[in-house]
Amino acid sequence: MHEKLFTPGPTEVRTELLQELSTAQIHHRTDEFSDLYDEIQPRLQKLLYTDNPVFLFTSSSTGAMESAVTNGVKKKCLTVSNGAFSGRWHKITLKNGVPADEIERDWGEPVPPEAIDEKLSTGNYDAVTMVFNETSTGMMNPVKEVSEVVSNYEDVLFLVDAVSGMAGAKIKVDEWGIDMCLAGVQKAFGLPSGLAVASVSDKLLERAEEVEPRSYYFNLPLLHKYHKRSQTRTTPAIPQIIALRKQLEYIVEEEGIENRFARHEKLSGIVQDWAKKYFDIFPAEGYWSKTLTCVKNTRGVSVADLNQELIEKHNLRIANGYGDMKEETFRISNMADTSEPDIRGLLATINDILGL
Ligand SMILES: *Cc1c(COP(=O)(O)O)cnc(C)c1O
């Protein structure tokens, strides 16, 4: 029996989208593929409020994170870090031989834009990486506020991991001056894993031409060359791209982008009200995510037992806390195409199990 996923990635995928994966294979050097590519492009741009091209990567989101720092940093990168994924981006940067410093706060605590400004004013950096929605802590970082700081520095690129936020919350790429905004489709897009998307600015492409090439697979100028032909550099995950087309049509034309964002906000609000009533919420107030809730386990329940019972008796799966917070927190995702009855049903089941 299929267990319904309330995990913050991968997320539940609608049957209609799964069926798209079994569409007969098409060749990626055909007009048919270019048509597919061209149908996806404007919808992705609409979703991200951008005129920038949006590249497709046949990799998980981590590949696009590598691409950002290997192409976008000539001098030194400043990593804004306050959770597992932002911390990981720092490691990814260093592993690729790219110089980087971390500006760090405790998990779940915001990094003040003024502190970022102070760092940038040294003139040591030419790129900032930041995670929009920290999936490890259920925190939405103030990308807009930070963008106001970063935009004062002409030479500094703004690289944003929006993995668990994109397609669930509004990100105004052009207005916020985001040079690369990346995500994997297995989170708020509600698609099977295997594909990442990223908007890429002219400024980033220019920078990439100046940087000693550090990657072939993730080389942005090379990807751009093929993008202009409505193709990908290498053989892409064609089934996933076909499913992405279907889901983008649904998001943009059927549900509507604003409605989708409003639904995410409403559902996260329901989970957060529940969490406040029975538990507490992990990240600092005012920064709660609209796509998942990281519940602070103030009642000391066994998160492992709770999830086991949800899975075995109810075919529902939530996520334990991230890393060391495995038992101290648990996470409930309302990403992708989750409905209000889905969420209310899950919370009622948890109440039943815990006798709340
Ligand atoms: C899931 C996630 C990642 C890693 O994504 P993969 O697709 O597994 O590579 C990175 N950043 C954030 C914020 C995430 O939620």
Q: Going from the first residue of the chain to its last (356 residues), give the mean pLDDT of each consecutive group of 10, the final group possibly shorter.
A: 96 98 96 98 98 98 98 98 98 98 98 98 98 98 98 98 98 98 98 98 98 93 98 97 98 98 98 98 97 98 98 98 97 98 98 97
**Cβ(179) – ligand 1 distance below 6 Å:** no
pLDDT score of 215: 93
pLDDT score of 1: 85
pLDDT score of 213: 83
For each of the domains in the chain, give its residue range(s) and CATH number, in order of start: 4-10+257-354 (3.90.1150.10), 15-253 (3.40.640.10)
The atom number, within ligand 1, closest to the CA of 9 reads 1
Output the CA 64–ligand 1 centroid distance in Å: 10
Nearest CA to ligand 1 atom 2: 163
Q: 3-state SS of the chain: helix, strand, coil percent to 5?
A: 40, 15, 40
- Pick the closest to residue 200 from 80, 29, 41 (CA basis): 41
pLDDT score of 285: 96
pLDDT score of 214: 87
- What dihedral do alpha carbons 323, 327, 333, 339 form, nearest 10°? 160
Contact yes or no for 32/174 (Cβ under 8 A): no
pLDDT score of 137: 98
**Cβ(66) – ligand 1 distance below 6 Å:** no
- Pairing outcome for strands 54-57 and 196-200: antiparallel
3-state secondary structure of 78: strand
**Cβ(131) – ligand 1 distance below 6 Å:** yes
**Cβ(141) – ligand 1 distance below 6 Å:** no
- Pick the closest to residue 290 from 274, 270, 307, 320 (CA basis): 270
d(CA 73, CA 35): 33
The residue to which tokens 């519940």 are assigned = 295
Output the CA 136–ligand 1 centroid distance in Å: 10
Query: What's the pTM?
Result: 0.98
Output the CA 42–ligand 1 centroid distance in Å: 24
- Pick the closest to residue 160 from 185, 137, 186, 142 (CA basis): 142
**Cβ(319) – ligand 1 distance below 6 Å:** no
